[in-house]
Structure 1
């Protein structure tokens, strides 16, 4: 399986019904035809054999450019599993323990306070009872948040600091961490789950511990061993700018016209056209489907791909285990934020969510299937029970617009007939 996305295996050889797999493309194409999705690329593999690649729609609606195998996609939060793998590679070298306070390397978080009441302008705070530990960053239980949530006074403090969808001009990762450390935490570390900049701070930890910038670590330690030649923080000077799919924003209810339901998000689109100053371990990568498939297959295979071993199978198993205390789900332990998929019956490990209870989840799926997705509606999952990997790429913000992730599971699983 290379980066060229050539299907070389008859789906029937690995237990898929080819006719039933076509239902996946038909469902996705309907969203394209209805003007709700610009274009898409979906891959399905089993036992490491690529059995289905579906493509539809356009990567650039104004120029009429189609989705192609080498189309580059902003994967946004699908950067997070890469950063989590980077951290666990250092963990395997004995660089730290998961229970270590992050202040050993990031002393700015030593005095970070915890919000208890009040407004964004006048927050009432108390000291941390528990320090932020490495595992809190990996599990999103640190108390850090996102400015774009619009759900808590601390989110507004992040926005006032310049962190909503982007970062202040010329702020690098080290400075961003200092800014976040100056804001209160949403809760005491380890007491709840809240999606936020935890993985960005983890990326900074990787930098300090390894002595490399995050892009250097990724390139030398992850991308080169896996053969991921087209993955980087923003486009590189040698990359064709036309290969990058354009970013579209959902505009529900917008009447008429070929782009009904979507507009070109020019301001946000611009950010990925060159390497940013701020290397976001939480959301900064652009990649191709062929490249990211190598990363996903590395996870499925227990830490190695094409001879490049990044992690041991036992470490991957630890990462895809639910780490929420008492083995509870995200509904029980998390904050009720917008989510692309149900949080019932879903836990969270070291960098991924995983299905704990398919019946509670309400989607045809396997227990233990683990996954993550990005803000522009990209997604992947690995099903260790069926030995399947699935990826989906498009460029539509926000990811909560369409229930793509649920449809992927139900339409891939209904095509399995062995």
Structure 2
């Protein structure tokens, strides 16, 4: 079948001589690429927010964001970043350039906190780091893509049954996500639209490779053979259609969810599907060694774990402050002894350290709490900081499975805690009852 390039029109693979100059040029281009791409997400998000305030939401399918100059600025920045990333592969090895793409996640996350007032809790932060680690392992241990030499060779590889099956799988999966799962879960689950963008994006990369081969041949044997090839124009239409779908659903995802969530998810999905497409297209699974398989397995595990942490636990109240408080409380409770008697005495000493103005030991409504040989019932205190009392109250949940029954004795069950109010200038009565700290004035 004639596609515009004869079978004999094979060109030798381009070999770039390794030198420190080429290495540093590729490194700088890769770093600039991550900066441009990470910044582009911020511009697009700002444009989408402005469009939503005007009553046109991209999450509902509106295209009004195309009228915003900030969206086009983001689009241009992303194009510059992708072009710089493509050129970087010419100067530096892929093992360096590809993992550096993860830095766009960090750029986007930092800028989103500054310019978008977005928040990502510590679990989401750990998830982002694990996603980056897993994706980097996959990239480092995945089969390396071969160099194409002509459009005819690209045609032979693209018509291979394995790649046709992969392409059909991506298309059918995208149809299911768009028309079945999208209307139900698209506005509540960030995976839906991001997965569409990442999977279709892998097909756009394949088209880019073919177009790049055609342009490289054109500079060697003339542009007439490239322009007369119907396969070249098919790849152009393929590329335009894939990029259009990819950007449309990426914009919908950015409009509905935080940039700190979408950016790592898109990186994971896009990188993973590109690796699969390259592997299927160039048949290099047999080139893997034992360490490559181990790296791929761990990369997949880390990636899945990171996605779960980002999507499932992103709305939890767990924060860096609560994490530090938890470990401080655990340390202060268990540092000397793990016995119940020692823990109770620790708690009692912390309470009496407030030096309250009055102990009421014989109040009718109080309930007796035993701490070893010591007892305390009600505590009246004033002019103490909230942080001091909070530090004491945080010890209460760590009493080992103790509670108070109706007779005032310790019984099985978790100790309960109610966060107390801030101290005021007027005295307040703090009562320990059934493991609960209550406040009355």
TM-score range, shorter chain: under 0.3
The higher relative CO (CA closer than 8 Å, separation ≥ 6) is in: 1
TM-score by length of 1: 0.23
Structure with the bigger percentage of helix: 2
Greater C-alpha radius of gyration:
2
Structure with the bigger percentage of strand: 1
